[in-house]
Structure 1
Amino acid sequence: MEFSAEDDEAMRQYMPSQFGKKDGGVDVEGQIARAKRKVVDESKQDKGDDDDKDSDDDSDDMSDEEDEFPVSHEVIIKTHDRAITTIALDASGTRLITGSNDCTLKLHDLSALTPNTIRAFKTVDPFATKSSAAAESHSIHQVLFGPHSGGQFLCITATPQARIFSRDGDQIAEFVKGDMYLRDKHNTKGHTSEITSAAWHPMNRDRFVTAGTDSTVRIWDVKKRMKQEEVIVHKSRAAGSAGMTRLTTIAWGAAAEGNSSMLVAAALDGSLVMWAGEGPYHRPTAEIRDAHVKDTWTSGLDISADGRLVITRGGDDTIKLWDTRKFKTPINTTSHSSTSSQYPTSNIKFAPNSQSIVTGSETGHLHILNPATLRPELVTPVTPGSPLICVNWHPKLNQIFTGSANGQTTILFNPSLSTAGALTILSKAPKKRHLDDDPNLTVDMDPLGMAGEGHDTGGKSGGPTPGSFASRHPTVGLTASGRSRDPRRPHIPAVTPFAKSTPDQKYVMEQIDGSDMRDEDPREALLKYAPKPGEKNVFTGAWDKTQPKGIYKDYDSDEDERESKRVKK
């Protein structure tokens, strides 16, 4: 039987080329090459026939764009099931946190990920600390790391209360909610309705500001959660006699002159308001009544690093650039389709060097604009057909992080311009995993979500995920109602709000001085100090000689005592 050349080639593909231990080196260049994306600049495709160039010129232009912006390569993170509403990174660029409409936060450690294990190491439900009886879920509006410390981050949800978490996802503080029945907003200790946006102080790590739908801006100290430091009530001239409107977004940046700062907020009545960042707050420094069309949601707002420019992205399909020194009319205006009606957290950002402006679009394209003219310098598709909601350009990594409506987080980078981040992921060898290490199968083994992309949030989906560990082992774990599937395991009673507010034994023992004496027998406590035979009486020795003698009658036995009591009766 004769074999053809094709059969020989098929045999070589089937049989191993070598035996024994192989080199475990990492082909970093190959992994980076596989992450390369086709950069398509659609802003230069519709210029007409007169502007046609040769293919060599086009390739030169595309290479120039790749060298100018970090968009030549990409790494995709798919850890959410619904739209990504916010993205935050710490100052070092190692901790990535994404928030979504699925009401959860995903924590990613970029320094620990490998090319085939790109997933969140922890899932945080901001309302998981509440009891099962009062369980609630709200969309995540914003997540912000402090400007000078990555040890904690601020979380804004669709509630009147802001929350601060540690970088590991542990809640540190929950700020107070105001009394909604007080008409004067100056007298409430917190927001009385939903918070829409927040911002950290550009220099003070202990101060941040929140803006809400109760028409107030409130400045907080991270160490004082029971009351805000300052309250700014925005009186809308276009809202009628009540003067109340919804504040949609806020930014806190450095001022153009001096070491002070400034606050800029946008409202639903179309106004754009500026205050001095350090006060006084009773009167705005400047106000533009018709910055955007009334009753449209201005979702994007950012201040340049030098404090001279303000960029806004309105719900009226426009992007406007403002000069803080002449805060009356926009410097430039350009048309841009808005996604704020469906995704109110759609943002717009200055580049770290303020030489570019980056934002997304409803078509899933990333737009990089020139701040002088607002003309697009690069328009490239990231998630075609799915709106690009939030963007974040990290200054240290020089990488662009984007979040889309399909739940995808994309890291755009350039190997020659970027550092760490996605390059750290691709510089590692793919992790060798056992079949049981598949996150789709082991996600329910860790109730805190440390081993996979998610965790059980109390049976909200109505039962275990098909193919999960709980579905394959029905006698292990808990049912949707919280009862144990194992009949040998006792049922853990639910923690009610009353029981949660009642101090337990551990709290009393640790917080109340002398509480450990309540279970002690007083007689035994006194006998500890009783002197032994032949020992000097230290505590009551002064009364040994002056102690009066007893005048009570002594009975010889218990029967004599009972007889005397009968006679008295």
Structure 2
Amino acid sequence: MISTNLSIWDLRKMKTALKVFDGLPNNYAETNASFSSDEQLIFTGTSVEKDGRNGGLLCFFDRRKLELVSRVGISPHYSVIRSLWHPRINQVFATVGDKKEGGTHILYDPSVSQRGALVCVGRAPRKKSVDDYEVQPLIHNPHALPLFRDQPSRKRQREKMMKDPLKSHKPEAPVSGPGFGGKIGTTKGSLLTQYLMKEGGLIKETWMDEDPREAILKYADAAKNDPKFIAPAYAQTQPETVFAESDSDGEEKK
């Protein structure tokens, strides 16, 4: 606790102060002293004492009589740090607080002050309407039973799924493309078995160099001797098949 003094000086006699007021506890270097709007009063704020007997006060001193006129209690728990007497609205503003929080107090006289705090004080309180919406406080209990526990947010669920190796595993893309030997799968080595068989010479891709007509006709004898699909259904009613002769043979006969 720092006990400060309020000293009043005369500019014509600067050797000694006219009056010194002791016993003004103060803990803040920002605490100031000011004049009233008519410059007849000097006032300053005080800090809360350790024993808790007095809270933050505003002390008013008469400039002419050099004596304490009044002590106004501002806050029982906070110190008065800054103060100001506004000349237009004739009201005193005092800021109070400590290292954690603070506030502002306004002193006014209904017969002397103008506007400012009187605008709020003279206004009737607003009546509640049925359309007013009040946000209900949300209470979180992390140790509640699973039935009453809050659902985790989507962000936390997504982060938990990304850490799970099974849920975060990307499925393999479906196999696409032409097959070989009746097996579905690309022939460019996407399947390990096909790749090994191709590299070992067990699979030879000859379809690129083979004539499509010749590839179909090599199964003609097997289809004729052992028909399976359309031919057996019309075996008794199908007339004899007659093919047109080749143009090249006709030209040779002529």
Shared fold, TM over 0.5? no
Q: So what's the TM-score if we normalise by structure 1?
A: 0.21
Comparing both chains, which one has the higher relative contact order based on Cα–Cα distances under 8 Å and sequence gaps of 6 or more?
1
Largest Rg, 1 or 2: 2
